[in-house]
Chains A and B, each alone.
Chain A
Amino acid sequence: MWGSDLLEQNPDFYKVFECPWTGEKVVCVRSLKPDYSLIHVQEADIYGNARILGPAYQDWLMSRASGKVILTTERIVGTYRMQEEPKLTAIPHLLVEAVVELPGGAKHGICYPEYLTVDFDLHKEYQKAVKNGEVPKFAEKMLEGRL
């Protein structure tokens, strides 16, 4: 972080300390403790054991940082899927508070390998909705029949 104006901009978030062993100056970053992680996955069982197919990004870390996860999932699968190869469970049930079966839950965006491109017609609608302050109206359309 040396050389970044972000240090001075966020004195409550970054602090410089001396390493207690070497005396070297180190930048420490305040940790965040999210109340919930909201994570969309391809597969979860009814207990909240979740598999992420393809790129996982930092969702593994987020789930641990919060310790409380709300999952939406493309589909509910049998627990045997996790038992086949436990390593592939990205998020274990003990960190999960709720599982919602929500196919298409990442639309109008992308969810590998289910849908691979952004729906740009919907994206234009979203951009317009942001501009006009009509995001809830856009939400009603996207969630029709799901609430």
Chain B
Amino acid sequence: MEYGKDYGKEEMFAAACIREIQEGDNVFHGLASSTPMVVMKAAKELGKDFNYVTLSDGLDHDWLRPPYSASTLTENTYIGSVATFGLDDIFDLFARGQGHIAFLSCLQIDKTGRIAMSVLGGPDYDHSALRGPGGAGTASIVPCCPRTIIWKCAHDTRTMVPHVKFATTTAAKDKSMTLITPLCIFRKAPGETEFKLDSIFPYTTIEEVKENTGWEIAETEVPVLDPPTAEELAALKKVDPNYILGYEF
């Protein structure tokens, strides 16, 4: 598979996310989450037997109905569901320890997994330069999610900063957190307090990752992830004919 010809960073990003999902997982994405939506539909198409929960109330919807909008609140993730299992049920699922993966995003993030979703800039919380949309439940879910995945379709020093001033939530010490960007994967293992560079994508280098990251990266040698497989690319194409995957990039 050749970068730029057979696949782009969008497909590599999606493949990296798909590979995080394991059989039997209860996997959640929230609203405004077009990338994880396509990822999870493609994982279903690849035959992974996991449970798909989301805010439309639908549980395991008909993933072959093509999404037509980047909104993840439409009936697209509702029609063909086997049951309704809404956000209140989902919060309880995670609080009971039965959730496995939550796909969440951020405005900014730092090396210790402090995540900004509320405000950026300005002298204080009530006088921000940018009032963000808020955590949408991340503060409740992250402390009880064993494998939080932060998906962020931009990798730059404005997003990945030395220190997040106001943290809507922070990675839980006893849980794992994974940060996936268009260049690489960072992981914070349970028991640890900082992200380590875990692997890089085939079309980049550690140097490029370092240049675009606002915190210090100590790792000097990390594995290069395999490019998307033909099966992964075919699944992405099949579930997403309108190319909603490209929306966030």
Contacts and interface: CB of A to CB of B under 8 A. Distances in A.
Instruction: Describe B's contact surface by its main secondary structure.
Output: loop
A107 B87 CA distance: 24
B205 interface: no
Contacts of A5: 118, 166-168
A57 B71 CA distance: 14
A43 B69 CA distance: 25
A55 B56 CA distance: 5
A3 B166 contact: no
Contact of A112 (B75, B88, B166): B75
Contacts of B171: 3
B168 A6 contact: yes
A9 B125 contact: yes
B69 A3 contact: no
A87 to B, nearest CB: 11
B78 interface: yes
Interface residues of B, number: 29
Contact of B73 (A3, A55, A61): A55
Contact of B55 (A6, A55, A113): A55
Given A116-B74, A117-B69, A58 B140 contact: no
B21 interface: no
Interface in A32-78: 54-58, 61
A110 interface: yes
Contact of B78 (A3, A54, A117): A54
B55 A57 contact: yes
A3 B172 contact: yes
A110 B71 CA distance: 11
Contacts of B168: 4-6
Contact of A56 (B57, B125, B167): B57
B169 interface: yes
Interface in B66-89: 68-69, 71, 73-75, 78, 84, 86-88
B162 interface: no
B75 A57 contact: no
Contact of B172 (A2, A9, A55, A116): A2
Interface of A: 1-6, 9, 54-58, 61, 110, 112-113, 116-117
Given A2-B143, A55-B57, 19 more contacts: A2-B172, A3-B139, A3-B167, A3-B170, A4-B169, A5-B167, A6-B139, A9-B125, A54-B75, A54-B78, A55-B73, A55-B75, A57-B55, A58-B86, A58-B88, A61-B88, A112-B78, A116-B74, A116-B75
30 contacts: A1-B139, A1-B140, A1-B143, A2-B143, A3-B143, A3-B167, A4-B135, A4-B139, A4-B167, A4-B168, A4-B170, A5-B166, A6-B139, A6-B168, A9-B125, A9-B166, A54-B56, A54-B75, A55-B57, A55-B74, A55-B78, A56-B57, A57-B87, A58-B86, A58-B88, A61-B88, A110-B71, A112-B78, A116-B74, A117-B68
When A and B form their complex, which 3 residue pairs have the shortest distance between CB atoms, in order from nearest? Answer: A3-B170, A4-B139, A55-B56
